[in-house]
Structure 1
Amino acid sequence: MKKILFFLPVLLLFASACKEKKTSLKDDDKVEIGDFIEFFPETALPFRMDDTLLVKKTTDSALIGMKIFKQFIPDSVMKKDFSNPASLKLYSLARYKDKSKETYLFVKATAGSKRVCYLVVFSDDNKYLNTIPLVKDGFDNSTSSYGVLDKKLQIITYRERKQAGMISSFKRNVYFYNSAANEFTLLMTEPNEEIIQDVINPIDTLKTSHKLAGDYVQNKKNFISFRDSKRPNELSFFVHFEKDKGECKGELKGVARLVNSNLAVYQEGGNPCELQFSFKGNTVTMKETGGCGSWRDIKCFFEGSYTRKKAAKPTTPAGKKK
């Protein structure tokens, strides 16, 4: 009996050591899904990430090996923001567990001057569900941005930009994770469009040498811009639309693959959103063929026909003959 009592503390100590939280997630480590999730430090809500905090250096102790990351989260969720996810540095920021429901992980991804904080959702039994970018830095001329997961599990994204004349434009979206549909449903959006005269086109300065590249418009607040991409069988695009007197808005930037000479399709792995662009003459017709609710209001869709705008002729410098 004494021998049993002597060895019992030793056994308990050994068992405790086996269950210790991992202090690193290097690619050569053996990691289970439970180890991966618990590597993220617990946090209370609300959790807020500002762009100013996002750009600060994160300690290497929070670094996650890409091979480890890809075991549990598809790297395709980041391809919209980073063309080469394999080159990223990934860090664990925080974790929140909703009682008997989902677990929310906050992941920081960096490459060069670009940084993104992603909100990743896992099920109660630790299965990957979905991902949404919470806040970004280094992608456009945003002057202020932040993301929040509040106590009601509402996801808030905010972005502010400066326009000509120092007028500020902002966009505040509120989402919630819809477990039944496994998507982030947009509850509301608050752009201050009443003081914004023009929509900022983030790809306006890119090249337009492709035969389909150009601006296809209905008016100044309903348009699709196509620009050259890195590959000849792709087109970079930016869509902005406003319907029902501004009550319904949508905006999306991405890269569409040319299926044939008249059809381009936008689709990202791990993302339900899909758009088709059909070209005919000087017209492009857009159709939403997959759920793009994260980029538009609930009661409207990415759809409609747009006419190609004639490119402006280059001006001839004074004193020179044509």
Structure 2
Amino acid sequence: MNKLVLALLTIGLLAGCGSKKKHSGKEALTFEDFRQLFTPAKLPYKLTPEALREKSSDSTIISPELMKQFLIDTLGKSDFPEGTVIKFYPLAAIDGANVNYFVVKAVGKATNTAYVCFLDKKGHYLNRLTVAKVDDKADQHYFSIDTRQVIKITNEKELSPGHTATREDFYGVAEDGKTTLIMTNSNGEAAAGQIFNPIDTLAAKHKLSGDYLSGETAIVSIRDGEDPKSFLFFISFTKEKTGCKGELSGTGHYTGANKGEYKDKETSCGIAFQFASGKVSIREIGGCGAYRGVRCFFEGTYSKKK
């Protein structure tokens, strides 16, 4: 009898040691758990407008708690009207050399937008880039990442039936997640006096946001940033007399109530912005020759378009 009892106790003990711990459902997800929500993908990767329009299952929605834990809880707020209910869906996870890329789709009432979120190798959020957008308009924006890990954002804007302006912006991504505009390809202004503005459809709720013009061939476009202290900008100009051109885009930061500044991470280029009475004045505070011709500068005063 004693031997039988001892055998039963031994079997029970071994069974207990070999059992796996069950997940209660209330435990916080690890980064690997979060990663498994995304479809693994390899480079090259492309997200087409058709794929962005596809309806996603609500069972795959990324909860606000997970967004805050692993990404950023303000994602999408600058791209959708205030009060819009935004649903986020995981699309793809891609391992890069320096950073990892997580493609997230944001769905609003009439617009689908995609972001590439950059995370370091330990799973820490670094930055994000708005890379695609489709809505009920003819315009569409989509992207791809090549094997060199260069992000290409393609913007197609219908100017008239059968007449489309296309622009391709190429971005590099640093180890800290900061992005740099490397090159721009464009089929030019499809209509005389019209400048293709890649941030035209982004939110412009800040009092200083808007389009500032100087003639028909120069624009300083300001759009809302991720927070009240930052702003997105696009500058493009062509000097009529010399034909010298310049083009620059990026994220600036407000340094005062009516002042802002941009500093390029890859070069010495810097731009100072001074806002006053419906106008903005810009001037270089570093050499920006990589983004303009040698006979012109990022400078001048632009009036806000009503």
Shift of 1:49: 1.0
2:78 corresponds to = 80
2:214 corresponds to = 218
Distance 1:105 1:297 in 2: 33
Distance 1:59 1:220 in 2: 46
Kept in 1, the 8 Å contact 2:248–2:291? The answer is: no
Three-state SS of the structure 2 residue aligned to 1:131 is strand
2:106 is aligned, of 105, 109, 128, to 109
Supply the AA of the counterpart residue of 1:285. Answer: S
Residue 170 (structure 2) pairs with residue 174 (structure 1): yes
Residue 124 (structure 2) pairs with residue 127 (structure 1): yes
Shift of 1:76: 3.2
Kept in 1, the 8 Å contact 2:119–2:125? The answer is: yes
1:143 corresponds to = 139
Supply the AA of the counterpart residue of 1:88. Answer: I
2:158 corresponds to = 162
2:187 corresponds to = 192
Distance 1:308 1:98 in 2: 42
Kept in 2, the 8 Å contact 1:259–1:265? The answer is: yes
2:94 corresponds to = 96
Kept in 2, the 8 Å contact 1:283–1:305? The answer is: no
Three-state SS of the structure 2 residue aligned to 1:45 is coil
Kept in 2, the 8 Å contact 1:214–1:308? The answer is: no
Kept in 1, the 8 Å contact 2:236–2:247? The answer is: yes
Distance 1:213 1:219 in 2: 19
1:284 is aligned, of 275, 280, 284, to 280
Deviates more, 1:213-222 or 1:2-11: 2-11
Shift of 1:163: 1.1
Distance change in 2, residues 1:219/1:46 (3 Å): same
1:306 corresponds to = 301
RMSD: 4.7
Distance change in 2, residues 1:64/1:287 (3 Å): farther
Distance change in 2, residues 1:187/1:224 (3 Å): closer
1:242 is aligned, of 222, 225, 237, to 237
Three-state SS of the structure 2 residue aligned to 1:249 is strand
Instruction: Compute the TM-score of the two structures, normalised by the length of structure 2.
Output: 0.69
2:20 corresponds to = 14
Distance change in 2, residues 1:86/1:194 (3 Å): closer
Distance change in 2, residues 1:10/1:71 (3 Å): same
Q: How many residues align?
A: 275
Distance change in 2, residues 1:29/1:84 (3 Å): farther
Shift of 1:277: 3.9
Segments of 5+ residues of structure 1 without an aligned counterpart are: 268-273, 291-295, 312-322
Distance 2:180 2:166 in 1: 20
Supply the AA of the counterpart residue of 1:304. Answer: E
2:3 corresponds to = none
Deviates more, 1:42-51 or 1:280-289: 280-289
Distance 1:88 1:310 in 2: 30
Please give the per-residue CA displacement for 1:174-231, whole angstroms capped at 9, x wherever unaligned: 222111x53112221101116442125648xx99xx9x9997433312124689x9xx
Kept in 2, the 8 Å contact 1:278–1:286? The answer is: yes
Distance 2:72 2:195 in 1: 33
1:53 is aligned, of 33, 51, 54, to 51
Instruction: Compute the TM-score of the two structures, normalised by the length of structure 1.
Output: 0.66
Three-state SS of the structure 2 residue aligned to 1:54 is helix
1:37 corresponds to = 35
1:317 corresponds to = none
Distance 2:285 2:35 in 1: 34
Kept in 1, the 8 Å contact 2:84–2:109? The answer is: no
Three-state SS of the structure 1 residue aligned to 2:88 is strand
2:178 is aligned, of 183, 196, 199, to 183
Residue identity (%): 22
Please give the per-residue CA displacement for 1:32-68, whole angstroms capped at 9, x wherever unaligned: 2232122212122222112222122101232110122
Supply the AA of the counterpart residue of 1:70. Answer: K
